[in-house]
């Protein structure tokens, strides 16, 4: 049976400074009590992204072995049968989904190998078509803005690429080593980097430190671009209502957080060692 999507009330918890993610942070004291549960989930090996389902209620989970469904009330469903690829960079853009990654055993060969480049689905992940960089690039980071604008960072470079036609053509705009990248409602790029949160107000040409922000290794933004959420030291979850707003504690993960999302109302979804959980605002 697949793990369920447990709902927890958000607790204003503070955490002692500690661990940092194998990706970026490190520490030495015991983590705070998790607010997402204690059970260890083993059914889905790794989840890269949590995104709204563009055509139905609920969410989609981009995982190492395909894309899974989750209902709006929190039950994790089965893997979509036609997806067995490593779904990296999964994002929702309007009524479409875009993704990258690597093919699985039954992935259609026209999607590319050894890397998928950019692929697109217009039917909630049931079928996919190649868009660009087919067979060439694996985008671990994709971020969507307004008017068909996307930013991406492939796994083979720190080069930041931009497209204004939903991934058909791309141009380099700058460089940033980022583990997560989002655009807020003002069009500012915010990146989680080894040096802390960085912000760009010139469409990715330059980045500067985001003052008074916690160090985060995961970062997500709400569909309307007004809510920011991230995970930092000790599994501490932080939330903010904008790049210039105060960051406040919003819960603690169980072990390492793998993927994160937030709603327009500020509710948080996180996949960690306990599986998928929701933290209500």
Q: Where do the domains of the chain lie, and which CATH numbers do they carry?
A: 47-174 (2.120.10.30), 176-256+273-277 (2.20.25)
Q: What residues contact residue 81 under an 8 Å CB cut-off, 6+ apart?
A: none
Q: Please name which of 186, 187, 157, 193 lies closest in space to residue 174, comparing C-alpha atoms.
A: 157
Share of the chain above pLDDT 70, in %: 86
Under DSSP, is residue 234 helix (H, G, I), strand (E, B) or coil? helix
Picking from 14, 38, 18, 36, the residue whose alpha carbon sits closest to that of residue 26 is 18
| pLDDT tens digit sequence for 1-11 | 333 344 443 33
Q: Is the pLDDT of residue 129 over 90?
A: yes
- The pTM of this model reads 0.87
Averaged pLDDT, 18-42: 53
At residue 201, φ and ψ (nearest 5 deg) are -110, 5
Give one DSSP letter per residue of 190-229, joined into a string.
EEEETTEEEEESSTTS--EE-TTPPPEEEEEE-TTS--EE
């Amino acid at each position: 049976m697949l793990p369920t999507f447990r709902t927890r009330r958000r607790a204003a918890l503070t955490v002692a400074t500690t661990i940092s993610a194998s990706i970026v942070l490190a520490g030495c004291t015991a983590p705070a009590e998790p607010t997402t549960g204690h059970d260890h989930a083993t059914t889905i090996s790794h989840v890269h992204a949590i995104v709204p389902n563009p055509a139905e209620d609920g969410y989609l989970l981009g995982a190492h072995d395909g894309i899974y469904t989750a209902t709006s009330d929190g039950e994790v469903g089965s893997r979509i049968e036609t997806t067995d690829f490593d779904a990296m960079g999964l994002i929702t853009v309007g009524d479409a989904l875009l993704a990258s990654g690597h093919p699985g055993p039954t992935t259609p060969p026209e999607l590319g190998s050894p890397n998928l480049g950019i692929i697109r689905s217009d039917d909630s992940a049931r079928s996919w078509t190649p868009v660009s960089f087919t067979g060439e690039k694996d985008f671990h980071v994709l971020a969507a803005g307004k008017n068909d604008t996307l930013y991406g960072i492939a796994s083979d470079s720190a080069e930041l690429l931009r497209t204004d036609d939903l991934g058909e053509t791309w141009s380099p705009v700058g460089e940033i080593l980022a583990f997560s990248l989002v655009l807020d409602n003002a069009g500012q790029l915010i990146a989680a980097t080894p040096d802390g949160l960085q912000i760009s107000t010139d469409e990715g040409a330059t980045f500067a430190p985001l003052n008074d922000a916690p160090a985060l290794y995961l970062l997500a933004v709400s569909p309307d671009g007004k809510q920011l959420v991230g995970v930092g030291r000790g599994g501490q979850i932080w939330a903010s209502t904008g790049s210039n707003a105060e960051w406040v504690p919003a819960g603690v993960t169980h072990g390492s957080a793998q993927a994160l999302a937030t709603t327009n109302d500020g509710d948080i979804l996180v996949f960690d060692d306990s599986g998928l959980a929701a933290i209500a605002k």
